[in-house]
Amino acid sequence: MLSAGGHAQVFVDPLNLSPRGLTDVPPARPPVPAQVPAAKASDPQPRETNPLPPDPFTSTQPVVFGSQIFTGRFGSEAFSGFNPDYQIAVGDRIHIRIWGAFNFDETQPVDAQGNVFIPNVGPVSVLGVRNADLTRQVEAQAKRTFRANTGVYATLEAAQPVKIYVTGFVRAPGLYGGLSSDSVLAYLDRAGGIDPDRGSYLEVDVLRAGKLRAKFNLYRFLLDGQIAPLQLQDGDTVVAYPRKHTVLVRGDVLNPYLFEFSKPVISAADLVAVARPRPSATHLSIVRKVGVDTRSEYHPLGAVANVTIQDGDEVLFTSDKYPGTILVRVEGAHLGERTLILPYGAKLQDALALLKPAPQANVDALQLYRISVAERQKEMLEASLRSLQTYALTSRSATSEEAALRTREADLIMQFIERARQTEPRGQVLLADREQAVNTLLEDGDVLRVPERSNLVLVSGEVLLPNALVWDPNARVSDYIQRAGGYNQDEDDARVVVLRQDGSVSDPGRGPLMPGDEVMVLPKIEAKSVEITRGITQIIYQLAVAAKVILDF
């Protein structure tokens, strides 16, 4: 469709997500009233840098789909690329070359009457000529004078500097400078972008002399990379209209945003097309407010053809699956496959039937590591650390000297807490009672480790020479400690823990040591407060058992 000035109008459909291309333009709407501050000629950029939008995956507030594009990157760069549909305007610079019988090589601006002047040819009208037709237009005029043996070439060297009004529901309405070839996105960006709380990304109009010049749907650019080229002129107005109907999307999707739609009721399939659920998503739940009531719906993704979404709904995509099989990893002295696929509900005895132990394997000391147990151990450790931190930071002092001592002690405690928080529990499940352990239900992600038989006993912690010693059936715990150089502290105050290969903890005074055991001598803790001493001792014991790590205070 041609406008009164002879220019083709561009129409990007704001009502549907699919573009309609060129079509009839609806009646023009008046621009939204807004104050337009005067802009300096040397100040084409916005006076504030657009802040980065919040991350939709971590933010607790709804993030509007589209707000992520207006961060200053469009407005900071001028676009001077070749646009075949660009129409030559007053002020554009045209580079003209003529060779052969007559030589001419010069760059000329388009004058106020829309002409460039060529010697011996005279004024050549180029106003409104498409960029792709520029050479043919100049050549046709020049050939009237030079009928033979003459070549002509013309190209647009630079687009015209213009100033454009940006108004409506943008962050900073005003007058902004740029090039006529710059996109509407650049001018919106210079105005701070669409106001994410009030503005529409579906309906942005360009007005010229109060009449509609083009309509833009920014979702087409966001989803498909489509933006219609448009030549802007000095005094054009870019208008962002109010936000339309919205739907909040969360959950197992690639686009967890607040989406805008042109209609108050859409099909769930349209929402799925823009939200783009992950492959793991199976269902969607709809929370809808009707008056003072809140109603909920729940639908499988495969049956959304007849489901409708209304303005203001909150839609959550979920993965509602029942596990059919679980994956168990096998490590250590095992000669078979390292990954076992077992049916959901399988027990330890089912995995044991598939094991192929190596000749040196110690199956009786089988170890089971579980992610959920490690997470629970981490939670219990964090609770102990928070309790210790409270004691350390709230202790009272009677004198200034005591206060100074407690301050230094608190600093040491905080350093200890920070180191303890960086320790990761292993999540080992105790399998000491084998008859009962074989009935243990396995979980997805479990790790079975088959240790090798060993004739060593490891001694670690507060001893002079932590080392691995050859197992002696007649030696006691104290003998191994002496062979490792003895205690680093008073023997009467020493705390000793014996860890078996199967994860159990043994009293060092009961029973002989077994090959593969580990003797851990825990450090003695001395603090001004009984609560702090008890708290640190408990944490050290937790780390020794759950992570096989000894931290000194």
The amino acid at 233: Q
Task: For residues 25-49, give the mean pLDDT.
Answer: 42
Alpha-helical runs (H) found in 395-485: 400-421, 434-437, 477-483
103-127 pLDDT per residue, tens: 888 888 889 889 999 888 889 999 8
| Phi, psi for 400 (deg, rounded to 5) | -70, -35
Q: CATH topology of 10-25+56-80+161-242 equal to that of 374-426+454-542?
A: yes
Beta bridge partners of 108: 94
Residue at token pair 């496959």: 337
Q: Give the best-scoring range by mean pLDDT among 13-22, 407-416, 523-532.
A: 407-416
Rounded-to-integer distance, Cα 417 and Cα 389, Å? 8
Rounded-to-integer distance, Cα 191 and Cα 263, Å? 27
166-191 pLDDT per residue, tens: 999 999 999 999 888 888 999 999 99
Rounded-to-integer distance, Cα 337 and Cα 328, Å? 11
Token duo for residue 423: 């320790």
Q: Which superfamily does CATH assign the domain made up of 374-426+454-542 to?
A: Outer membrane lipoprotein wza domain like (3.10.560.10)
Closest CA to 247 of 263, 260, 262, 265: 260
Rounded-to-integer distance, Cα 281 and Cα 251, Å? 9
Residue extents of the structural domains in the chain = 10-25+56-80+161-242, 93-158, 245-318, 374-426+454-542
Does pLDDT of 160 surpass 50? yes
**DSSP of 220-274, one letter per residue?**
HHHHH---------TT-EEEEEEP-EEEEEEESBS--SEEEESSSEEEHHHHHHH
What is the DSSP secondary structure assignment for residue 296, as one 8-state letter? E
Classified by CATH at the fold level, domain 10-25+56-80+161-242 comes out as: Outer membrane lipoprotein wza fold like (3.10.560)
Closest CA to 384 of 417, 425, 427, 410: 417
Does pLDDT of 158 surpass 70? no
pLDDT tier for residue 254 given thresholds of 50, 70 and 90: very high
pLDDT of residue 60: 58
312-346 pLDDT per residue, tens: 999 999 988 777 899 999 999 999 999 999 999 99
347: left (phi over 0), alpha (psi -120 to 50) or beta: beta
Q: Does domain 93-158 have CATH number 3.40.50?
A: no
Residue at token pair 């943008």: 170
pLDDT of residue 55: 59
Rounded-to-integer distance, Cα 184 and Cα 45, Å? 14
Closest CA to 428 of 336, 355, 500: 500
Quick one: angle between helices 371-394 and 400-421, nearest 10?
170
Quick one: angle between helices 530-547 and 400-421, nearest 10?
10
Rounded-to-integer distance, Cα 28 and Cα 191, Å? 23
Task: Please report, for residues 222, 345, 350, 435, 446, the alpha-carbon distance to residue 440 in angstroms, rounded to integers and kept in the order given.
Answer: 51, 10, 10, 10, 12
pLDDT tier for residue 53 given thresholds of 50, 70 and 90: low
Closest CA to 82 of 130, 17, 12: 130
DSSP three-state, residue 202? strand
Task: Please give the residue that has the higher pLDDT: either 62 or 343.
Answer: 343
Residues 187, 168 contacting (CB under 8 angstroms): no
- Minimum mean pLDDT among 20-34, 263-277, 436-450, 455-469: which range? 20-34
Contacts of 293 by beta carbon, 8 Å cutoff, 6+ apart: none
Token duo for residue 25: 């333009």
Closest CA to 251 of 322, 320, 323: 320
Task: Please give the residue that has the higher pLDDT: either 22 or 223.
Answer: 223
What is the value of pTM for the model shown?
0.52
Side by side, the strands of the sheet bearing 283-290 are: 258-261, 245-251, 314-318, 283-290, 293-300
pLDDT of residue 244: 92
Task: Give the CATH number of domain 245-318; options: 1.25.40, 3.40.50, 1.10.287, 3.10.20.
Answer: 3.10.20
